[in-house]
Chain A
Amino acid sequence: MLPSILLFAFFVWAPLFENIRLSLYDAQGIRTIKFVGFENYIRVFSHPSFWPAFRNTFYYIFWSLLLGFWIPIIIASLITETLYFKGLFRVGVYFPNILPGLASVMLWGFFFRPGKTGVLNILLDKIGIEPFTWLTTPGWTIPLIVLTLTWKAAGSTALIYMAAISNINQDLYEAATIDGASPFKRFLHIMLPSILSLGKTLLILQIIAVFQILYEPLVMTNGGPNNASISIMQLVYKYAFQDYNYPMAAALSVLICIVLVALTLLYFKVTKNVDDAN
């Protein structure tokens, strides 16, 4: 009991409280000078990059739910239904996960380079299509970044779903097959309900993770063009490590925390109502 309390206090609670305290102070470096109340929060809100970053973060979540949430489920169900080379496919989808995060982001950077030297543009050129500007087209930036995220992370999430699917009682499948249910029907009526609760947890985890997206836009676009892909964590990074303005970084972190707690509560309330209705 005591060791775990000590660990929690040292690694979780202390930094958390210290962060909240710091956000209410004026500071030199991380040495607090005087109490300023909510001034840092007001400055965070009035910074011209705040609303673009806040809005973008929700775009990231939107696209990651559209692309990133369903793809692992589809991969998992397809691989489960596969009869031959199952192991090969399992390893295959997990493969991108072995790459270090930064390496994969930089690799995709080479793919998306505009002009004639980008890998995708070289491929387009082979079939006679003009080079495209990829990440530097504001409307495409966030979906493309989410695509690289999905490419990297979908495999590991799919493995978790596969584990859940393998726990489903095989008798159900047998019965359904005997009754003449198609693979799609089996997916809809057996598999989906069984992995629903797991899906809910993964969904909220995904939202929390994507809300904190940092290094992908930092490396691929540095938040550009013209703030089109700047994320809220990138602003925290900018305050802390470029401006050395730790109180503002702390204030923004507290705001992120509040938003995430609110989203989580809302989510559980909504899903609980749905469950109750069921």
Chain B
Amino acid sequence: MRKSKLLSILIAAMLIMGLLAGCSSDSNTDTTEATTAADATQATTQAVEKAVLKLGIWPEDTNPNEVALHEGYAEVFRQAHPDVELVPANYKYATDTFVSLAEAGNLPTIFETWFTEPQKLIKGGFVRDITDILEERGWLDDINPSIRTLLSDSNGRVYGIPRDGYALGLMLNVELFEQAGLVNADGSIQYPKTWQEVAEMGKKIKDATGSAGLVILAKDNAGGWHFSNIAWNFGADLTTTDADGKFHANLNSPEAIAAMEYVKSLRWEYDILTADPTNEDWGTGFVNLGTGAAAMYIGANDAVNQPTETNGLPVDKLALVPMPAGPGGQYSLSGGTPYMFSADATDAEVNAALDYLEIMGKAPVVTDDAIAGMKADAEYRVNAGIPVIPRFPAWTNPELLAAEQAIIDEYSNIDLKLFNDYFTATKTEGNLKLEEEGATQDMYAQLTNVLQAVLTDKNADVTSLMNTANTNYQGILDSGLNK
């Protein structure tokens, strides 16, 4: 008996040592970047025979029309690239599946992610540096410079390309504005130009229709994200950088506090918000707007399918107007939704993916295929009831922008008056602002906490809450980035 016990302990010890040894040899191979690079070139030579393009951007099966659209793209692609095997591999980016997929080497060659993610994915080594490939294709300098920053590491190497650019504005449910009588003599709708008017018009709408005037998000970091734009318009600068490149939290400036007081008044003074802002996130905001439960919501040009196609708002009842101005000016938070590439993808595979984007008309080239792709996309939008509006200039080459404009004019399915001011405002010099630098998501988390407190407690002390948030955020900065 004793003998078998000893034996089992020995076996167990050997197993553990084996496992630990296995882990350490793993990390060795991972850290030697040079080997990986060599592997990659080797893989490229092998891939000449048959590269596999796993398309994470393939639409979901539940959307047959969009699948049909992509079947068309795929057909064109297969004819031009008989040597590449195209595999539809729909992947909807989600934080709880991503790392397992990436670590297991099962990430699609190309996938879409959220605008919040690129820096995290670059730091984690999950995505591929595609600078040289873009350089070769002559695309590198066509990327809108501000979006390029978002997709680059600290050495300026680029890891993705923009699908769309976006700038936040205010989305309106036109039906509710009409019901509340907020209509000009010529039939166009009156819309709020300042945050003060948002509160007043929101009140009119709530009194007349019973629907909420405005959706404010306070469930997750999206709350802080939207709030940072409101705060800018009140004159706040939420993070500052000193000469040494160190970040300083600035959440308790008088301007930021005034912005938070304003949001608080929307709940307790004007009472124009939805029933429970602490349960509203990016998606439920669009549900409220699209179904007529709320009249206004902070949204951007790249999400016009959300209230319409996804939540049933008729295409002519959606308006997108400039971000309301505040005492500090009028700014629109801008960024881009990126395409990124698996760290395991070979050059040939990345090139195949970029060729596919060309066919879709999402690349900075104007070929017959690309124009056909853009037309197919516009046609799809018309059929699905999504506004056909200009993309935000994610790429800067003029011939592409001209070609896009021609297609938008041809397929237009909306009254441009409902969108024009937004596009005019965002083209104004100095209007666009990138997200705050620093530990941005942590800052949003702190601001969201304050939003939750002021929206649930009538007696919340905004100044002291913002002071706490500021101390907390500074602590996070000091323990991480400022080291």
Contact = CB atoms under 8 A, between A and B. Distances in A.
A115 B480 CA distance: 40
Contacts of B20: 17, 21
A226 B451 CA distance: 8
Contact of B123 (A28, A138, A224): A28
B8 A225 contact: no
Interface stretch (A55-63, A92-100, A165-173, A239-247): A239-247
B11 A5 contact: yes
B8 A138 contact: no
Determine which residue in A43, A48, A117, A133 has the highest number of CB atoms from chain B within 10 A of its CB, and name it. A48
B103 interface: yes
Given A9-B16, A43-B480, A221-B278, A30 B103 contact: yes
B342 interface: no
Interface of B is mostly: helix
A137 interface: yes
Contacts of B219: 222, 224
Contacts of B465: 226
B63 interface: no
Interface stretch (B24-32, B166-174, B346-354): B24-32
A137 B103 contact: no
Contact of B120 (A21, A225, A243): A243
Contact of B479 (A46, A117, A224): A46
Interface stretch (B40-48, B257-265, B452-460): B452-460
Interface string A201-214: 00000000000000
Contacts of B161: none
Chain A interface residue count: which class?
35 or more
B456 A133 contact: yes
B99 interface: yes
A118 B276 CA distance: 10
A241 B15 contact: no
A46 B96 CA distance: 25
Contact of B12 (A9, A31, A224, A241): A9
Contacts of A113: 275-276, 279
Contacts of A133: 456
A143 to B, nearest CB: 16
Contacts of B31: 31, 33
A29 B276 contact: no
A137 B276 CA distance: 12
A114 interface: yes
Contact of B16 (A17, A137, A227): A17
A118 B441 CA distance: 31
Contact of A224 (B4, B441, B446, B449): B449
Interface of A: 1-2, 5-6, 8-9, 13-14, 17-18, 21, 28-33, 42-43, 46-49, 109, 113-118, 133, 136-138, 221-222, 224-227, 241-244, 246
Given A114-B275, A115-B274, 13 more contacts: A29-B99, A29-B103, A29-B125, A31-B103, A48-B446, A48-B475, A113-B275, A113-B279, A116-B275, A138-B456, A224-B449, A225-B449, A226-B450
Interface of B: 4, 8, 11-12, 15-16, 19-20, 23, 26-27, 30-31, 95-96, 98-99, 102-103, 120, 123-126, 218-220, 274-276, 278-279, 441, 445-446, 448-450, 452-453, 455-457, 465, 471-473, 475-476, 479-480
